[in-house]
Structure 1
Amino acid sequence: MSGHSPDDDDRHLAALGYKQELVRNLGSFSTFATGFAFISILTGMFLLFGFVYSSGGPASIWAWVVAVIGQVLFALSFAELAAKYPLAGSVYSWTKHITRGTSASWLAGISMILALIVSSATVALTMQTILPAISPVFWIYGDGSGPHDATINGVILGSIMLVLTTIVSLLGSKVRSLVNNIGVSVELIASIVLIVGLAINAKHGPSVVFETNGTGLNQPGGYVGALLLCLLLGLTVMWGFDTAGSLGEETINPRQTSPRAIIRALVASGVFGALLILAAVMSIPKLDDQRIADDGLSYVVKASLGTGLGNIMLVCAAIAVFVCGLANQTGAVNMMFAMARDNALPGSSRLAKVAERAKTPVLPPLIVLVVGVAILVYNIGQPAIFLTVSSTTVVFALISYFLITASFSLARVRGDWEQPDTRYFRLGKWGLVVSVVATIWAAGMIVNIAWPRQVLYNPDEPFHWYLQWGGVLIPAVALTLAFLVYWFTQRKKIGILPEHSSGFASQQSAPRAELETR
């Protein structure tokens, strides 16, 4: 922006109560790339395409379109918040500044941390669906013929990936940005090549998107019920774009850059995802082929493009998975750092400590690594429980989004919200409508995804009622226990730690005595 200087960013951050500790070196592409990498359509497609296709057939693409529209509502609200509060911690920091208490922001932050850590492990496990399909050399344990070969091998590959993403995170924002930008560039090019390649090998016309494969017969509510289940793909893939806003303290001119990055990351992912689904279903020779359900997009790619080009696309998908995991870890690190410097977490001083040389938090990436590997290892003995836990990731994320859009709506109704500077992104008179509809969308999708469907939460033996109800029980229990920790240990301690304070805070961000007593 004309007339902008780096000092403007530092002064704005100081006015919000914080001193500049992280390195501000990310440009517009790097910020966009982090949001795009987090969403990572290739990761999501290779992980869930087979399940969604078997649940809704080619017409399941309409669930993706609906999901894009719904998630854009979040992106618009987040963009306006990022323009006014370009802070690390995105949903936590934004909710903190628009509410009259600390409970909603704390729950939004902790819910997102849980989503991000579990998602990091789940994304890492995706390597098992890609690398062994490229070459048997990636069968580090067994060869796939044993009953536990795939499970154990997936844990090994996933753990290696988590170690590598942690190393990149600890090297600082410059290295992390370089790796991420390369990965996203590969993913963008690969997505285009994959879409064009599948379209060239099309066996059906665009009208195939109205073919249901009779899947509505197996769902309560007919095909509407099938589409509600198929929304899982869009919702699981298209969240985390707020991470582009979470880099506000590492971004140059974040009030201008972050809102655009959030919206562009989601819209680009939505468009590329829709085109990829369309090209994939048009290229399938036999629409009811069981191998699609079993092997997912990997089978479709190799069947349509051949082994050579198919393997190249799978390599690109593996790179996309890696930077997706890196973006997940980045989001978790920034969220923990933001909450810790407000003394909102146990051991906050250590969690918020920034490395002198790399200018990045040290302990949070290690926590993501240790907990992520532990979750993966647990998958060896209890794969059914791991599936249930990993399936609740999007529920945690949607709870966080619900808390912020509901808080945003309430702030607007109360008259507590002042529009950002006219030079930056603002929704104007449409702001309240967008935030209210986004809140309704969030509530509806929490119910939809948490609904106790056996096909989602407990598809294989052993069948247990608590696994089927995992989408309700796990978030309820986890957030209740977390809230008890907050209420009895942190609630009255919350306030910017002296070593992270700028010594000056605006009226909106200054700690209020009455908040600390709630």
Structure 2
Amino acid sequence: MSQGSTDDGLSEFGYSQSLDRSIGRFASFAAGISYISILTGTFQLFYFGFAFGGPVYWWSWPVVFVGQLMVALCFAELAGRYPVAGSVYNWSKRLAGPTTSWLAGWMMFTASVVTVTAVVLGYQLTLPQIWSGFQFVGDGTGENDYQLNAVIWGAVLILFTTLVNAFGVKLMTRINSAGVFIELIAAVLIVIALGVNIVNPPSVLFDTGGIGEGAPGGYFGMFLIAALASAYVMYGFDTASSLGEETVDPRRTAPSAILRAVIASFVIGGLILLFAILAMPNLADPALGESSGGLQLVILTVLGGPIGTLFLICVVIAVTVCALAVHTAGIRLMFAMARDNALPGGARLARVDPKRKTPVVPAVLIGVAAVVILLISVGVPEIFTAVTSVAIIMIYIAYLLVTVPLLVKRLRGEWSGGEGGYFSLGRLGLPVNIIAVLWGAAMAINLAWPRADVYGEGWISWIAFIFIGLVMGIGLLWFRLRGRHRLGTLPEHVAKQIEQEAP
């Protein structure tokens, strides 16, 4: 059997097969949709969107979907052509120069570590509403009760995701797939349960309720803030391709997994948000716009205690697999960059455990870093909220570092799309790519805009520019002075046939 047939074309990119290729179609789809995580995102951010946009905030969901679908279509084409670990980094590497691709990987990796921390805080938003005993620290009303309890639960979840990822991809995909299956069933049941309890007319979706009066930009300005809640959810679909080296027939599986994850998230998540608004008896309840209320309050109010609690347990499961998927994606990105010797200590970071067929050191390092960020957040929740928000911007920027070079290739006539019969946009490629770039740039600006409502007053309102500037500056300084001179696939990861051809 040829090398190309055993590694699904990995030797074409100069790499040997070192990871465990065992992920099937559903597990690949589950990896993408668990990163987006319908229940985690909608339940964690509904209060924010509703607080600034009211019922009309729902329209941000389809708007964000259309924009992100354009990005996903570009990524699906790339996934069929380059089924390599660390998707964004490796795609950019083949579309642009080493500096651009390194920056894309660096931004995505840094954001992924912060995102792990942000996701695990979902436990604190949900667990105490299931049972007050889950509030270990005080009764939740003390100055630091909420934060300290969130850190404890977050650290527990990070420990879990670290151990699972260190054990191997098979265990990870089994847990992730089971969790996604439960999440999807629960999401559909929530849609049905809320749908049969609708009490508000569709006209409420056009009622601004006086929001934005006297504010700069009026309601539109407030809607742009509310839209951040949707923008914070619908990303991470590239995870399906980031696991390409561990996926069976990745050139066909990954593109469909990316698109299915985005579309399924839009449909089910959109219906949950829509029916929640239409089913809530009192849309004027101020608790709907508070983190202690939000969508959890809607579920408990509309569906009652036992049933509502059961659904909140499913939300906890969704948060768990979401954190697991984000952690996994970060590991694959670190591994991909380290294998090219693009990170300090590359040989150690890229080492794959011979028994478990997984990079163990990156799993541990990301887990430790995420816990450290959690501990730093205690007592300074404003800065933590700002930094986690900025992490999403960094992901949008990383996506732009892929879609912009791809657009340049198309405009130069250097991109043919679906070679070998794999997924291709054909003639639609250019308009889709243009929209993807314009959308990504517009959302990055909207996300980073220095608003006191999002980031706080004073200097911290500029945290997006400060934090991203520091991350980019420090990273590029190291890369240009030292990192770029060391680039090259580590000998232990070079494809065997290339070794044999070398003089």
Q: Place the TM-score, normalised by the shorter chain, in its bin.
A: over 0.9
Unpaired runs of 5+ residues, structure 1, are 511-518
Matched, 1:469 2:455: no
Matching residue's letter, 1:501: V
Distance 1:339 1:435, change over 3 A: same
- Per mean C-alpha deviation after superposition, the further-off stretch among 219-228 and 381-390 is 219-228
Give the aligned partner of residue 30 of structure 2: 33
**CA contact 1:213–1:287 (8 Å) conserved in 2:** no
Give the aligned partner of residue 63 of structure 1: 60
Q: How does 1:425-436 map to 2 (within 5 A)?
A: 425-436=423-434
Looking at structure 2, the residues matched to 45 and 92 of structure 1 have their Cα atoms a distance apart, in angstroms, of 28
Q: How does 1:65-464 map to 2 (within 5 A)?
A: 65-99=62-96, 101-217=97-213, 219-294=215-290, 295-458=293-456, 463=457
**CA contact 1:60–1:227 (8 Å) conserved in 2:** yes
Matching residue's letter, 1:293: G
TM-score, normalised relative to structure 1: 0.94
Q: Deviations over 1:408-443 (max 9, x none)?
A: 011222233232335210011221221122111111
Q: Deviations over 1:210-243 (max 9, x none)?
A: 1222213254222221221122122110111000
Distance 1:485 1:218, change over 3 A: farther
**CA contact 1:25–1:251 (8 Å) conserved in 2:** yes
TM-score, normalised relative to structure 2: 0.96
- Per mean C-alpha deviation after superposition, the further-off stretch among 200-209 and 355-364 is 200-209
- Per mean C-alpha deviation after superposition, the further-off stretch among 301-310 and 420-429 is 420-429
Looking at structure 2, the residues matched to 43 and 11 of structure 1 have their Cα atoms a distance apart, in angstroms, of 34
For this pair of structures, how many residues does the alignment match? Answer: 498
Aligned partner of 2:494 among 485, 501, 508: 501
Residue 57 of structure 1 aligns to a residue in which SS? helix
Looking at structure 2, the residues matched to 96 and 415 of structure 1 have their Cα atoms a distance apart, in angstroms, of 18
Residue 231 of structure 2 aligns to a residue in which SS? helix
**CA contact 1:86–1:245 (8 Å) conserved in 2:** yes
Q: Displacement of 1:41 after TM fit?
A: 1.5
Give the aligned partner of residue 514 of structure 1: none
Q: Displacement of 1:368 after TM fit?
A: 1.2
Identical-residue share of aligned pairs (%): 42
Q: Deviations over 1:113-144 (max 9, x none)?
A: 01110000000011100001101221122221
Looking at structure 1, the residues matched to 266 and 473 of structure 2 have their Cα atoms a distance apart, in angstroms, of 34
Q: Displacement of 1:390 after TM fit?
A: 0.8
Matched, 1:481 2:474: yes
Looking at structure 2, the residues matched to 199 and 79 of structure 1 have their Cα atoms a distance apart, in angstroms, of 33
Q: Displacement of 1:9 after TM fit?
A: 5.6
> What is the CA RMSD across the aligned residues, in angstroms?
1.7
Looking at structure 2, the residues matched to 305 and 219 of structure 1 have their Cα atoms a distance apart, in angstroms, of 36
Unpaired runs of 5+ residues, structure 2, are none
Residue 60 of structure 2 aligns to a residue in which SS? helix
Q: Displacement of 1:7 after TM fit?
A: 5.5
**CA contact 1:54–1:215 (8 Å) conserved in 2:** no
Q: Displacement of 1:207 after TM fit?
A: 2.6
Residue 212 of structure 2 aligns to a residue in which SS? helix
**CA contact 1:466–1:473 (8 Å) conserved in 2:** no
Looking at structure 2, the residues matched to 56 and 422 of structure 1 have their Cα atoms a distance apart, in angstroms, of 47
Residue 345 of structure 1 aligns to a residue in which SS? coil
Residue 414 of structure 2 aligns to a residue in which SS? coil
**CA contact 1:98–1:416 (8 Å) conserved in 2:** no
- Per mean C-alpha deviation after superposition, the further-off stretch among 31-40 and 287-296 is 287-296
Distance 1:58 1:426, change over 3 A: same
Matching residue's letter, 2:140: G
Give the aligned partner of residue 515 of structure 1: none
Distance 1:422 1:235, change over 3 A: same
**CA contact 1:206–1:278 (8 Å) conserved in 2:** no
Looking at structure 2, the residues matched to 478 and 61 of structure 1 have their Cα atoms a distance apart, in angstroms, of 33
**CA contact 1:6–1:253 (8 Å) conserved in 2:** no
Looking at structure 2, the residues matched to 428 and 418 of structure 1 have their Cα atoms a distance apart, in angstroms, of 8
Looking at structure 2, the residues matched to 446 and 24 of structure 1 have their Cα atoms a distance apart, in angstroms, of 35
**CA contact 2:3–2:11 (8 Å) conserved in 1:** no
**CA contact 1:232–1:449 (8 Å) conserved in 2:** yes
**CA contact 2:349–2:362 (8 Å) conserved in 1:** yes
Residue 403 of structure 1 aligns to a residue in which SS? helix
Q: Deviations over 1:199-218 (max 9, x none)?
A: 21111122321122221325
Q: Displacement of 1:6 after TM fit?
A: 9.8
Give the aligned partner of residue 52 of structure 1: 49
